[in-house]
Amino acid sequence: MSQSSESVIRQPAFAKSWAARILSTTSFQMLSVAIAWQMYALTEDAFSLGLVGLAQFVPMLLLTLVVGQVADRFDRRKVVAICQLFEGIVAVLLVFGSHAGWLGREQILLAAAVIGACRAFEGPTMSALVPELVPKSLLPQASAWSASAGQTAQILGPSLGGLLFSLGATYVYATSAVALLCAGVLVFLIRMERVERKIEPLAMNSVFSGLVFVFRNKVILGTISLDLFAVLLGGATALLPIFTKDILHTGPWGLGLLRSAPAVGALLMSLVLAHYTLKRALGPILFGALGIFGAATILFALSTSLMLSLFALFVLGASDVISVVIRSTLVQLNTPNEMRGRVSAVNSLFVGTSNQLGEFESGTLAGFFGAVPATLIGGIGTIAVAGLWMYLFPSLRRLRTFKTD
């Protein structure tokens, strides 16, 4: 790591996008908490609760190829802002529906699906926009600051959403609506030099070109797939309610602490990486961080102490964000500007799939073997995947800088 003399946060365009990302992601976390709580309060049905998560995930799965085309053919700044404004409108409708009493199961699922669709467009497009806002030399630092925005939102969003929900669902929806509208305005206010992009004719090969690019670039494929399987196997956070109640013997306050610990670790590490930029020995650092991630998962599985469990989750979050920063910077620096939207959409699909399927995998294993063995298997599996990927992707193992050519 080397200390950066110039701060990317002093770049006005990036600073606005960073603030908008915090507002938007915090609002999404708040909305997710409120929608889930309200759905369960209305139906008292666990299946309906599961449908909320599915409604948010399915649009991302179905729209991946469309998202990439939109992000590469239109003004990315306007695409992001329009998505945030639409999410804000949905939040306003939830305010009126909740206050008037006509908000039911179907309306909540529809709102969740629309929000999921907007997020499917917003995330990859925002990622593709960042390289247009900062010089290439500051891109690793920008990735770290972007990661810090996401982690800040994961800490603030659920806790603020829960606090406001205790006053009433309308307070959560109204606050989210204001924050989303502010985020959209901030993105609209971004001033940047017009970047000329070569627009390919809309044809079948153009639609799938993001996937083709990722699979041809072995370093990017190795990094994205490595992160996919690491998170897929090491999904200890999905089992936190079981560990909280049956192993650590604490209440809801303990669950809140355990949920916050990975995000706190990730936030602090992302701030370190924003100040001390990763520049050398990226392959060894990536695999070393993944080994620490697996070891922290094993430590958490074996712990019967709340403090030790919090420490393990803190380390887990800190090590995971190193992979996030390396992966996102590699994708952005090694993808032509005219293809960044399509490649970012593929990357987003990999990340979303790993999070969703990771929870499913952890829950299934826990159902068969118990929470502790399932988490142990996940930690050991993560380390095994790291070893296998070092063999399958030697170019990734030998990677020294962010340029792959």
Greater confidence (398 vs 338) lies with 398
User: What confidence tens digit (pLDDT) does each residue in 252-285 have?
Assistant: 677 767 877 888 898 888 888 877 777 777 888 8
Residue type, 112: A
What are the backbone dihedrals phi and psi of residue 113, each rounded to the nearest 5 degrees, phi first? -65, -40
Alpha carbons 81 and 212: distance in angstroms, whole number: 29
Describe the chain by its helix, strand, coil percentages, rounded to 5: 85, 0, 15
Q: Which backbone phi and psi does 189 adopt, to 5 degrees?
A: -80, -5
The 3 state secondary structure assigned to 334-350 is CCCHHHHHHHHHHHHHH
Q: Dump pLDDT digits (tens) for 358-390.
A: 656 666 677 777 888 888 988 898 899 889 998
pLDDT in tens, 1-13: 555 546 777 888 8
Concatenating the DSSP letter of every residue in 375-393 gives: HHHHHHHHHHHHHHHHHH-
- Region for residue 187 given its phi and psi (left: phi exceeds 0; alpha: psi -120 to 50; beta: otherwise): alpha
What element of type H or E holds 2?
strand 2-3
